Structure 1
């Protein structure tokens, strides 16, 4: 591969439109579920569509016949393809990292679920553990606050 050649240019900036469509399950009854009054209900929301711009920057041809570069893959929001969804939509969702804790600490799953439902053991039964309050995804999708 030589700098400026056809193959190099195809590799450095591929002429391909790559779109990422994201669908999320929104918890529609977080308050009722946390209070133990209802079973968990979810609804699929999306698509949240991003275009990935693939480039290779800082390309260096090394003396040992190798090449090094810095790949760049920024995501660009595609509002017109997102069918009414917005980057700042509030979505209530399970915090998967917190849900993995019982397995890591050998806590029975039933005990964990009862904690989330507001009954029994309260070791991890706080709303903050169930609902992701931070900007958890790099996509700008923020979770709605949950106040029991």
Structure 2
């Protein structure tokens, strides 16, 4: 048996069944990983972006053509952005979209053959962080 599979089986000993041969003394052993920290916001950002971006493009097109409903006037949208709940929604959409874009760009650069993953990660996540801070700054000014 491979030591890696044995380690994974030990990490799940408390589930019983086929996952463990015996209990591990001292408690539960859980594999440590940073993947959920990156993949959770990435997935949420992709989902939010997939649903929100087409709507924003359509509304922008309607506004450019002069088909703006009365609820999409400047005064109504400003009132939405000035409300704390509106600010939270706008901040969440932009934050998750930037995080998704940064992670997608990081993986794309790696697929293109750039193997300096640490440096690429620092650059793309720094840019996403700058965008997030700028969003927060401008939302708080409304």
TM-score, length-scaled by structure 1: 0.28
**Greater percentage in helix:** 2
More strand by share: 1
